[in-house]
Amino acid sequence: MCHNSTTRRRWFGSLCLLTAIAMLVADETVMKGRLSDLGILAYRLICLVFTLLAICAAFLDVRALRRATRDEQRRLFENTLQNIPKEKPGKTTGLE
């Protein structure tokens, strides 16, 4: 299995999101009525932290994807410009 930064970032975001969802489900089912008001507040703040971590991981993933796409487009454009003279060796530019 490839463990590059994209894979780690996506796994981290997925685990944070799944943890937040599991905490919400547990809060509405198992924990209902068992926690004090302060306990509910702390529990939901922890759930919020996991949700925010998942959102941050998603934003970082989008930024990395945009950067990779931009670099790939730039590389393809430069390769195309370099290959133009190779494909048409007998043709002049018409500026002479």
68-86 confidence digits (pLDDT tens): 999 999 999 999 888 887 7
Cα distance between the two ends of the chain: 56
Q: What is the pTM of this model?
A: 0.74
Q: Where are the domains of the chain?
A: 5-86
pLDDT band at 88 (very low <50, low <70, confident <90, very high): confident
Task: Identify the residue whose tokens are 């994209």.
Answer: 6
